[in-house]
Structure 1
Amino acid sequence: MIDFWLAAGLLLLVALSFLLIPVLRNRRAQLEEDRTALNVALYQERVAELQSQQEEGVLDAAQMDAGRAEAARELLADTEGVAAPRVTRLGKPAPLLAAILVPVLGLGLYLHFGASDKVELTREFSQAPQSMEEMTQRLERAVAAQPDSAEALYFLGRTYMTLDRPADAAKIFERTVNIAGRQPELLGQWAQAQYFADGKKWSDKIQALTDEALKADPKEVTSLGLLGIAAFEAERYQDAIDYWNRLLEQLPPEDKSRIALQGGITRAKEKLVASGGQVAEAPVTKVTALLKVRVDLAADLKAKVQPGDSVFIFARATNGPPAPLAAKRLTVADLPATVELGDADAMMPQLKLSNFPEVQLVARISRAGKPTAGEWIGRSEPLASSTTAPQKLTIDSPDK
């Protein structure tokens, strides 16, 4: 922040120089004007003295004229080369007044319309926080400076949950949803914060949020975990087991929370058996996804492509990472062609079609053989990853 104000001060000095330099230059002209006025006064005094001597009879008319002429020559000699005085309507105080008002006005406008708070926040976030409280204060200032930033609101909500402030977190997550849209993850976070803010009392509002989240994404982890907790608190142990088992399937093997989750499932089973019930183990089913798509080339593009041009066909998540979930590579000579995109074609093990409820199909022609950039492209409308009906995809647009 000090560097910023030093730079601002330097620019201010440059601006003031344009106002003060003319004032300093005018000081010389003022001195010249004062010297001219003094010479005129001396001339007038000399003429008055000559007139007095003529009246006393000391000088005659000829001597009087000669003395007046001599005084005039001296006056002309003294004033020769002096520029004519410039007249300004603003007066001499105007430049000095402007020199004072310009920086004051500029500073006031910057403090009102500028972004000094954002500059300060950028400087703060470049340094690691010393405590959780300091991080919270930074996020609160970030939200105040950028109230429409869904990212800042989301992290502030998560921080409030860490600090056991669920009521504040619920309000923040609601604002996040209003800005970023009703994404399953945000709905799950909102429902969880609201549940703890209400003293672990289930409500129609929380039920509606979790239902909406799981409808959009049946694997939304926060909602699954929350429903399991609510079911356990309500002594619906079988429901808790089912929800937590579904959540357990979504967690990677190295996730440390799997141990605590497995412990919760074990306790739910013990309580169910102690109450006279019987644990119903759900059959383990492996969810897979397989999309069939027929790719063709628009008629008006057939004359513009070459048989050896690469054709990349891939599926990517509508709401998720930009990386392809499954991909195949052909050439223009292979078109039209029918391909299958499934979990077996995943680019990365954790990014599978079955892990995302909605995807988009894309086909790109790249003469350079680059899957991320090409000459022509075709895109489908968003569709469910569980779709079994064959899809059609036509490459018909320039790739921008």
Structure 2
Amino acid sequence: MLDFWLSAGLLLLAALAFMLIPLLRGRRAQAVEDRTALNVALYQERLAELTAQQTAGTLSAEQFETGKAEAARELLADTEGRGALHSSNLGKVIPLLAALAVPALGFGLYLHWGGSQQVELARAYESTPRTLEEMTERLEQTVKVQPEAAEAWYFLGRAYMAQERYADAAAAFGKAADLADRPAEVLGQLAQAQFFAGNRQWTPEIQSLTDEALRADPQEGTSLGLLGIGAYEAGRYAEAIGYWQRLLAGLPADDAARQPIESGIERAKAKVLEAGGTLPAEPVMASNTPALKVRVELAPALRDQVQPGDSLFVFAKAASGPPMPLAVKRLTVADLPVEVSLSDADAMMPQLKISGFAQIQLTARISRAGNATAGEWMGKVPPVANDEAALQTIVIDSPDAH
């Protein structure tokens, strides 16, 4: 900020110069005026002396006129070139008050409407933070200066979670959710922060948040993982297995997060067997289970209007039946063009499978907010039979009508 204040100081000096120079000129004019008045007074005294001498008879009329002309010449010589005298009604007080008021008023207006905090924030982000605490401080400053920045609130929540400041994280995620129209990913993070802030106690509010997240995105990972944890800690081991298996189904084969989830599933299975229960069926696609093959492409006209990180949802719905998707795959725009398959193994609910409905509607949607139910662009094909073997090509080329 030093260079900014130096520049402001120079501009202030220039402004003061315009205000004070007329005042200084006024003082010089006053000095000229005083000297002229003195010369006039001396001239008048000289005339009085000449008149007295003429009256006394010591000067002749000719000598009187000569002396008078001499005094007049001296007066003209002293005042010649000084120009006309200008009078001003401003005086000294008004220019001085204006010189003081202008910088004070300018500083006040800048503090109210200026961008000093934004300038300081931009400078802070010029260097890479060295610690998590430093990054947290920057994010806190960001949301203070830009309270409507949903992404800043979200990343601040993530920073708080890394520091185990769960209550602060819940507040930050709550702000991000409200500002960003409650996307599924943020709702899942909010539910998780509330869960840990409440000493791992499951509450109706947490259940409501995870339900809302999964309605928007049935494969929202944080919510599925959290529901599995909640079910496991409540002793509902079979339910925990179901949530974690759904979570695994949406993860890439080489994802590092698979290992701890698989370990959790194995522990839950052991608990079920210890209690004498039976394990839930593995969500493995049987060899005779139909799979709909889908290729998704992006229309060339939209390539400049999407971002690589935008969420891509490919889902199958019953052409005539429940409105919720039967199967969903989540990717990103960076994966396009891409080929996926949708089958009963991808079912969101065991009782709602592709094989249970004769006609299936295949749709692809791009959502910047990560919302499976509403986005910016979409594409679909006419309904197909649930056992259609031919590759179906979806071109995303239309605004999403939700």
TM interval, shorter chain, is 0.7 to 0.9
The answer to whether the aligner puts 1:359 opposite 2:365 as a matched pair is yes
Structure 2 match to 1:87: 87
Segments of structure 2 that go 5 or more residues without pairing to the other structure are 315-328, 347-361, 368-374, 385-391
> Could you tell me the percent identity over the aligned residues?
50
Check the 8 A contact 1:227/1:240 in 2, yes or no: yes
Structure 2 match to 1:296: none
Question: SS at the partner of 1:359?
Answer: strand
TM-fit CA distance, 1:383: 5.8
The answer to whether the aligner puts 1:348 opposite 2:354 as a matched pair is no
Structure 1 residues 251 and 195, CA gap change in structure 2 (3 angstroms): same
- Structure 2: distance between partners of 1:178 and 1:323: 20
TM-fit CA distance, 1:382: 5.9
Structure 2 match to 1:105: 105
- Structure 2: distance between partners of 1:351 and 1:168: 40
CA RMSD of aligned residues (A): 4.1
TM-fit CA distance, 1:115: 1.9
Which amino acid counterpart does residue 244 of structure 1 have in structure 2? W
TM-fit CA distance, 1:85: 1.8
Structure 2 match to 1:255: 255
Structure 1 match to 2:238: 238
Which amino acid counterpart does residue 348 of structure 1 have in structure 2? D
Structure 2 match to 1:161: 161
Structure 1 residues 38 and 313, CA gap change in structure 2 (3 angstroms): closer
- Structure 1: distance between partners of 2:3 and 2:240: 57
- Structure 1: distance between partners of 2:107 and 2:275: 73
Structure 2 match to 1:64: 64
Structure 1 residues 219 and 134, CA gap change in structure 2 (3 angstroms): same
Structure 1 match to 2:354: none
Structure 1 residues 2 and 385, CA gap change in structure 2 (3 angstroms): farther
TM-fit CA distance, 1:62: 4.1
Structure 1 match to 2:151: 151
- Structure 2: distance between partners of 1:128 and 1:7: 27
Check the 8 A contact 2:237/2:271 in 1, yes or no: yes
Structure 2 match to 1:136: 136
Structure 1 match to 2:2: 2
1:83-106 Cα shifts (integer Å, max 9, x gaps):
222222211333333222211221
Which amino acid counterpart does residue 359 of structure 1 have in structure 2? R
Alignment of 1:192-341 (within 5 A): 192-285=192-285, 290=294, 312=300, 321=309
Check the 8 A contact 1:289/1:385 in 2, yes or no: no
Structure 1 residues 347 and 115, CA gap change in structure 2 (3 angstroms): closer
- Structure 1: distance between partners of 2:175 and 2:382: 33
Check the 8 A contact 1:217/1:357 in 2, yes or no: no
Segments of structure 1 that go 5 or more residues without pairing to the other structure are 294-310, 327-341, 362-379
- Structure 1: distance between partners of 2:128 and 2:293: 43
- Structure 1: distance between partners of 2:97 and 2:145: 35
TM-score (structure 2 length as normaliser): 0.72
Structure 1 residues 251 and 12, CA gap change in structure 2 (3 angstroms): farther
TM-fit CA distance, 1:231: 0.9
- Structure 2: distance between partners of 1:357 and 1:143: 37
TM-fit CA distance, 1:177: 1.6
TM-fit CA distance, 1:292: 10
Structure 2 match to 1:36: 36
Structure 1 residues 343 and 100, CA gap change in structure 2 (3 angstroms): closer
Alignment of 1:115-130 (within 5 A): 115-130=115-130
Question: SS at the partner of 2:262?
Answer: helix
Structure 2 match to 1:49: 49
Question: SS at the partner of 1:235?
Answer: coil
The answer to whether the aligner puts 1:188 opposite 2:188 as a matched pair is yes
1:162-181 Cα shifts (integer Å, max 9, x gaps):
22122222222222122110
Q: Compare 23-32 and 148-157 and name the one that shifted more.
A: 23-32
Which amino acid counterpart does residue 161 of structure 2 have in structure 1? M
1:313-370 Cα shifts (integer Å, max 9, x gaps):
88999998459889xxxxxxxxxxxxxxx999x8627977779986169xxxxxxxxx
TM-fit CA distance, 1:225: 1.0
Which amino acid counterpart does residue 245 of structure 1 have in structure 2? Q
Which amino acid counterpart does residue 269 of structure 1 have in structure 2? K
- Structure 2: distance between partners of 1:165 and 1:287: 45
Q: Compare 214-223 and 119-128 and name the one that shifted more.
A: 119-128
Which amino acid counterpart does residue 139 of structure 1 have in structure 2? L
Q: Compare 168-177 and 216-225 and name the one that shifted more.
A: 168-177
- Structure 2: distance between partners of 1:387 and 1:315: 24
TM-score (structure 1 length as normaliser): 0.73
TM-fit CA distance, 1:203: 1.9
- Structure 1: distance between partners of 2:217 and 2:62: 119
- Structure 1: distance between partners of 2:208 and 2:23: 73
Q: Compare 68-77 and 210-219 and name the one that shifted more.
A: 68-77
- Structure 2: distance between partners of 1:281 and 1:82: 110
Question: SS at the partner of 2:365?
Answer: strand
Structure 1 residues 209 and 93, CA gap change in structure 2 (3 angstroms): same
1:38-88 Cα shifts (integer Å, max 9, x gaps):
321221232233234345443344433332222122212221222222222
1:230-275 Cα shifts (integer Å, max 9, x gaps):
1111111112122112222333344333222222222222222222
Structure 1 residues 199 and 184, CA gap change in structure 2 (3 angstroms): same
Check the 8 A contact 1:319/1:358 in 2, yes or no: no
Structure 2 match to 1:369: none
Check the 8 A contact 1:232/1:240 in 2, yes or no: yes
Q: Compare 273-282 and 176-185 and name the one that shifted more.
A: 273-282
TM-fit CA distance, 1:150: 0.6
